[in-house]
Chain A
Amino acid sequence: MKSNPKYEISITAQKELTDLLGEKNVCFTRDLLSVYRAKPFGQMFREAVNPHGMVQPETVEDVQGILKIANKYEIPLILAATMGPGACLEGGLIVDMYSRMRKIHKIDPECGYALVEPGVTCGQLLKALRPHGCWVSFGSYPPIQSNLSTLVCCRAQTNAIGKEDDFCRGIEVVLPTGEIVKTGSAGLGYDMWADTHGIPNLKWLWQPSMGTLGIITKAAIRIHPLGEVQDIVIAGFNNFDNAIEWSHKITREVMVNTSMVWSYHWVQWENYAHNNGKGFVKYINDMLTLKPDEAPPGYYPMYAFASISGFKEQVEGNVKACQRLAKELGGEIVNEKFKEQNPGCWNKWEHSFLEHVNPGMALERSHIYGVEAGMEAFTVETNVRDGKSFHHAILRRLYEKHGLRHVRYYTRQLDHGRTSFQRYLFMHDAFDQETLDREIEVEEDLLKWTSTKEFKEQFPNIVPFAPVAHSSAVGEIGKKEEEIPVHYGLMELDRRIQEVLDPNNIMDPVMRRKEE
């Protein structure tokens, strides 16, 4: 395996780590460590190597101990949690924060947060919150996913709810140099985790966290009331612009927990995936015969929904307002019809957006038939205005240039409707290398397209989502620097901050080098 010989862990260091954590919680046999090589999706695995070692701390003191040793021997550390970050590109020592740090330290429903360790899963937390009448944001990740990892470290937008834009009220982190820092009011010694005002809020140094500025050991994750009642409004639209306009308006007035637009194809895919494969053949036929944003008669090309909860009168009022607005925009309220036509998808929506229970990923079922959606997605975040014109442009390009009829997409409104998050999936069958290669080809073309002068002129406000997420598709982090949007002076500042926080350059130096 190719790796950087400098990253090997000396026997002395191995011994010290073993003494610190115990034999059961370390491993220095590289061949056994493929599980820590890279995150599960896409190309990264091919580019990565097995790490030189792995440690599993359980306490903050363990973490401090690891850092002390790492600093002493200049061992590069890579953090592994659930689905990333963390790709071991040249070797080093994996710190697995996920396996043994799994406590829920506190649930405070009045103050709306839960204090969790990195390994606490979404499912675990949801279950613990239920008796308190609360839930936590989750998206299409499986219940096994770490809250801290997705909400804090990745700030994964599939978890966003329209009402809130900040997932976290404070964190505890161990700096690369070993000091423990708590942000917010917890830093003042209180057992209350809240942001403080009037001073820089340091929690943002670690949101998102590329794993280079320290190791998060706890986070106070925001939780939301389940509400007295819940409801959902489902509207069918024949026009994307109207669908997204509806979604935008209702989020802007903070009526909903979440409002999304799902393409017909995405509904279909979820439908068969959550219905034991029923409807799969229809799904394939549709894929082969329909044009982008086309739907068979009796169906809609877009289904938009609004997930609403709160007090009884509040929900009634919001539902009425949402229904009125949908009709004004040419939509049809299709709650009953939707349940009949798409029982599988309804199953998912009911669990996810009405009952706030994470039903797990669609993957659970879909691969039965040997077809698996590629997980590489092309995502943009923009304002709703530009989002509309971009949507039409990208569908046109995928169809006319790449011959792709079937594009699954969904949109989410983030940050009180200020931002439209739009995600497009256009390939299938990640198991087939040929298909995966084609997917990469299409993705590269899209990235190239979005960095052309013509594109920038036509869409001055579109920023394709953080290129790091797509680096797996393009094979190497930082490879296409000329195509990666230039950070307006930030790179230098990021570097200087990293240098002062990690003077010995131990926190994932490969990542840092690539970024530079």
Chain B
Amino acid sequence: MENKPSQTPTKYEIPKVAQKELTDLLGEKNVCFTRELLSVYRDMAWGPWVRQTVNPHGAVQPETVEEIQGILKIANKYKIAILLAGTSGPGFTWKGGLVIDTYSRMQKIHKIDPEAGYVVVEPGVSNGQILKAIRPFGCWISFGSYPSDISSLISLLLSQAQTNVISKEEDFCMGVEAVLPTGEVIRTGTAATGIDYWSKNRGVLDLKFLYEGNMGGTMGVVTKAALRIHPLGEAQDIVIVGFNNFGDAMKWTHKVAREVMANTSMIWSYRWVQWQNYVHDNAKGFIKYLNDMLSHNPDEVPSGYYAQYAFASISGYKEQVEGNVAACKRLAIDLGGEIINKKFQEQWPGTWHKWEEMYNHHINPGMAARRSHVYGIESSEGSFIVTTTIRDGKKFHDAVMKRFYEKYGIRHVRYYTRQMDHGRVSFQRYVYMHDKFDNEILDREIDIARDLATWVTSDEFRKEHKNIAPMIAHTVELPDDNDPSGSKKSKLYYDPSWLIETIRKAVDPNNIMDPALREMAEH
């Protein structure tokens, strides 16, 4: 193996004297400055990022807030570029620097308050750990299709992963504690007053938003968050409806969510149901899945099945659940759907197993990926996601499915939708590729993702689909080797990014938090 020339400018290197200070601060076992050993911190798990990233220059693993303050003090002193590492992200080491891993040693649950509906956790606490700890209190916490070891704080707060969304609540977090790049410790909300009660303080500016969705980790290091938890409820139920019309299916989930009857209300395409079915049923049905993939047109299904399966996961008091179930059923029938709970369990035992665990029992059964690779096919994780209104969502759905088929020749598109924020927003996710082990296919996926991003930001598209906000499709934000100036890059950037930058300057006057990311954003 040959050594690649270093891509890293020297300013990201960590001077020896700083290495020593960090080692004295944390202990030898909790630091590493041997770059070759730090591939594990190079990028997040998904996608082709690794081609653009490099190993960081060092990694430190603090355990306490004081240690983090110490690290940042040293970083400010020597102008060391800081990157944060979590579970599956954030953290891309574009040019190197020092990774602060708050994930490996900061694993305490500080407080569980079921009445006040939150837990206070450190960054390394996994959602499985929380689920287990709060079950005796009759509570659960939002989780999505991530493995149960994922850090709750990172997925709910820092990346705000929408697969965790339940439609009843829009906000995952009650307050955070963070160490600013300049070393001060802040707490937001009522905790800012020094008490151990974490709630938004409504009368004053609540700066927790600086740390929500902060994929770049540039506003400081979050050391605790008070995450919302939900009651398990006296009774749980699920209503499963088959639809053959996407518009009707959407209307149903929208209405259900708008009146806050369900924890979650989703639509899964036939293909997504089928895919989950074989992965959760030891690959039974895999051949059928392949055959369907090759022979059916998009949203076309064999007879006896539905193009869309929608469900509403309901919990609460007994009478409440009964009433909500009755209302959901009536609405479904009014919209031309069929209530198919029993049929679904028979036809899709694997998917039912997953739904039952996740949406009825609120247990994270782990990722579907556990089984699917048995046959050498793994769904790609590249997704095309939009958030929009329900109205525009339907129109967009038809347009994107048509595009996949007519322009790229892709029949098989798995999709699901979620209603967020009391049904105000429709979250729609499309996964269209498989077998990411094959670089050729991965490259094709990237090409399609770029094309899609260009399409949705074109004037023509925006005229036709006024209210579609594509989520930042990370597969298209790669620096393009063929377009180093970025002039051809799809403009997906959030318009007030310069304002966030301005605030960052206030928060991080010495520019130590992931300066490479900022440089790239500026260019």
Binding site for B on A (CB under 8 A): 108, 110-113, 155, 157, 163-166, 169, 175, 179, 181-183, 185, 187-192, 194-205, 207-208, 210, 222, 225, 227, 248, 252-255, 310-318, 320-321, 324-325, 381-386, 415-419, 456, 460-463, 465-466, 468-469, 485-490, 492-494, 496-497, 499-501
22 A-B residue contacts at CB 8 Å?
A155-B202, A164-B170, A166-B170, A181-B496, A185-B387, A190-B462, A190-B468, A192-B388, A192-B467, A197-B213, A200-B503, A208-B205, A248-B115, A311-B261, A325-B317, A381-B190, A381-B201, A383-B115, A385-B116, A487-B192, A501-B502, A501-B503
A416 close to B169 (CB less than 8 A): yes
From B202, B323, B494, B502, contact of A381 by CB (8 A): B202
- CB of B411 within 8 A of chain A? no
- CB of B219 within 8 A of chain A? yes
Query: Which residues in B have their C-beta under 8 angstroms from that of A169?
Result: 421, 424
Q: Could you list 7 further interchain pairs (A-B, Cβ under 8 angstroms) beyond the known A204-B208, A311-B327, A416-B230? A: A181-B495, A191-B467, A192-B469, A197-B162, A197-B387, A208-B202, A225-B258
- CB of B75 within 8 A of chain A? no
Query: Which residues in A have their C-beta under 8 angstroms from that of B331?
Result: 311
Closest to A156 in B: B202
Mark out the residues of chain B between 411 and 425 whose CB falls within 8 Å of any chain A CB in the assembled complex.
421-425
From B169, B202, B327, B469, contact of A312 by CB (8 A): B327
Binding site for A on B (CB under 8 A): 113, 115-118, 159-160, 162, 168-171, 174, 180, 184-188, 190-197, 199-215, 219, 228, 230-231, 233, 254, 258-261, 315-324, 326-327, 330-331, 387-392, 421-425, 462, 466-469, 471-472, 494-496, 499-500, 502-503, 505-507, 509
B327 close to A313 (CB less than 8 A): yes
Given contacts A463-B201, A486-B194, A488-B186, A313 and B323 within 8 Å (CB-CB) = yes
Query: Which residues in B have their C-beta under 8 angstroms from that of A201?
Result: 209, 212-213
- Bound together, the chains give a CA A188 to CA B465 distance in angstroms of 14
Q: How far is the CB of A217 from chain B (nearest CB, A)?
A: 15
- Bound together, the chains give a CA A469 to CA B425 distance in angstroms of 35
- Bound together, the chains give a CA A170 to CA B108 distance in angstroms of 35
- Bound together, the chains give a CA A453 to CA B100 distance in angstroms of 38
- Bound together, the chains give a CA A386 to CA B503 distance in angstroms of 37
- Bound together, the chains give a CA A490 to CA B316 distance in angstroms of 38
A254 close to B168 (CB less than 8 A): yes
Closest to B261 in A: A314
Query: Which residue of A108, A157, A200 has the most chain B CB atoms within 10 A of its CB atom?
Result: A200
Q: How far is the CB of A480 from chain B (nearest CB, A)?
A: 14
Closest 10 CB pairs of A and B: A317-B323, A466-B203, A461-B197, A485-B193, A192-B467, A204-B209, A383-B116, A313-B326, A311-B327, A321-B317
Query: Which residues in B have their C-beta under 8 angstroms from that of A316?
Result: 323
B389 close to A111 (CB less than 8 A): yes
Query: Which residue of A255, A384, A489 has the most chain B CB atoms within 10 A of its CB atom?
Result: A489
B190 close to A500 (CB less than 8 A): no
- Bound together, the chains give a CA A486 to CA B330 distance in angstroms of 53
- Bound together, the chains give a CA A199 to CA B500 distance in angstroms of 9
- Bound together, the chains give a CA A169 to CA B424 distance in angstroms of 10
Given contacts A317-B326, A485-B193, A187 and B494 within 8 Å (CB-CB) = yes
Closest to B499 in A: A181
Q: How far is the CB of A156 from chain B (nearest CB, A)?
A: 8
Q: How far is the CB of B461 from chain A (nearest CB, A)?
A: 12
- Bound together, the chains give a CA A26 to CA B318 distance in angstroms of 61
B320 close to A318 (CB less than 8 A): yes
Query: Which residues in B have their C-beta under 8 angstroms from that of A163?
Result: 168, 260, 422
Given contacts A199-B500, A227-B259, A492 and B184 within 8 Å (CB-CB) = yes
B425 close to A194 (CB less than 8 A): yes
A311 close to B330 (CB less than 8 A): yes
B209 close to A320 (CB less than 8 A): no
A490 close to B324 (CB less than 8 A): no
- Bound together, the chains give a CA A386 to CA B323 distance in angstroms of 33
Q: How far is the CB of A106 from chain B (nearest CB, A)?
A: 11
A315 close to B469 (CB less than 8 A): no
Query: Which residues in A have their C-beta under 8 angstroms from that of B260?
Result: 163, 254, 310
Query: Which residues in A have their C-beta under 8 angstroms from that of B115?
Result: 248, 383-385
Closest to B208 in A: A204
Q: How far is the CB of B371 from chain A (nearest CB, A)?
A: 29
From B168, B200, B467, contact of A416 by CB (8 A): B168
A313 close to B324 (CB less than 8 A): yes
Given contacts A197-B471, A497-B503, A418 and B171 within 8 Å (CB-CB) = no
Q: How far is the CB of B424 from chain A (nearest CB, A)?
A: 4
Query: Which residues in B have their C-beta under 8 angstroms from that of A194?
Result: 387, 421, 424-425, 469
B117 close to A416 (CB less than 8 A): yes
- Bound together, the chains give a CA A449 to CA B288 distance in angstroms of 72
Given contacts A200-B212, A313-B323, A488 and B192 within 8 Å (CB-CB) = yes
Q: How far is the CB of B124 from chain A (nearest CB, A)?
A: 21
Query: Which residues in B have their C-beta under 8 angstroms from that of A321?
Result: 316-320, 323
Given contacts A488-B192, A500-B503, A466 and B209 within 8 Å (CB-CB) = no
- Bound together, the chains give a CA A418 to CA B509 distance in angstroms of 36
- Bound together, the chains give a CA A461 to CA B118 distance in angstroms of 14
Q: How far is the CB of B44 from chain A (nearest CB, A)?
A: 13
From B219, B315, B425, contact of A200 by CB (8 A): B219
Given contacts A311-B327, A318-B320, A487-B192, A494 and B469 within 8 Å (CB-CB) = no
B469 close to A196 (CB less than 8 A): yes
Given contacts A198-B213, A318-B320, A488-B187, A500 and B259 within 8 Å (CB-CB) = no
Query: Which residues in A have their C-beta under 8 angstroms from that of B209?
Result: 200-205
- Bound together, the chains give a CA A205 to CA B322 distance in angstroms of 41
Closest to A317 in B: B323
B210 close to A111 (CB less than 8 A): no
- Bound together, the chains give a CA A492 to CA B200 distance in angstroms of 19
A463 close to B117 (CB less than 8 A): no
Query: Which residues in B have their C-beta under 8 angstroms from that of A315?
Result: 323
B320 close to A488 (CB less than 8 A): no
Closest to B493 in A: A188
Query: Which residues in A have their C-beta under 8 angstroms from that of B160?
Result: 197-198
From A189, A196, A466, contact of B202 by CB (8 A): A466
Query: Which residues in B have their C-beta under 8 angstroms from that of A485?
Result: 192-194
A208 close to B204 (CB less than 8 A): yes
Query: Which residues in B have their C-beta under 8 angstroms from that of A196?
Result: 213, 387, 469, 494
From B169, B194, B215, B317, contact of A255 by CB (8 A): B317
From A202, A417, A500, contact of B505 by CB (8 A): A500
Q: How far is the CB of B175 from chain A (nearest CB, A)?
A: 10
Query: Which residues in B have their C-beta under 8 angstroms from that of A419?
Result: 116, 199-200
Query: Which residues in B have their C-beta under 8 angstroms from that of A202?
Result: 209, 496, 499-500
Query: Which residues in A have their C-beta under 8 angstroms from that of B317?
Result: 253, 255, 321, 324-325
From A182, A254, A383, contact of B316 by CB (8 A): A254
- Bound together, the chains give a CA A488 to CA B330 distance in angstroms of 51
- Bound together, the chains give a CA A203 to CA B212 distance in angstroms of 12
Q: How far is the CB of A192 from chain B (nearest CB, A)?
A: 4
Q: How far is the CB of B197 from chain A (nearest CB, A)?
A: 4
Query: Which residues in B have their C-beta under 8 angstroms from that of A462?
Result: 195, 197
Given contacts A195-B421, A461-B195, A490-B186, A200 and B210 within 8 Å (CB-CB) = yes
Query: Which residues in B have their C-beta under 8 angstroms from that of A385?
Result: 115-116
Query: Which residue of A113, A462, A496 has the most chain B CB atoms within 10 A of its CB atom?
Result: A496
Q: How far is the CB of B49 from chain A (nearest CB, A)?
A: 16
Given contacts A192-B389, A248-B115, A460-B195, A317 and B320 within 8 Å (CB-CB) = yes
B506 close to A497 (CB less than 8 A): yes
Query: Which residues in A have their C-beta under 8 angstroms from that of B230?
Result: 416
Given contacts A311-B261, A486-B193, A500-B506, A494 and B205 within 8 Å (CB-CB) = yes
Query: Which residues in B have their C-beta under 8 angstroms from that of A182?
Result: 495-496
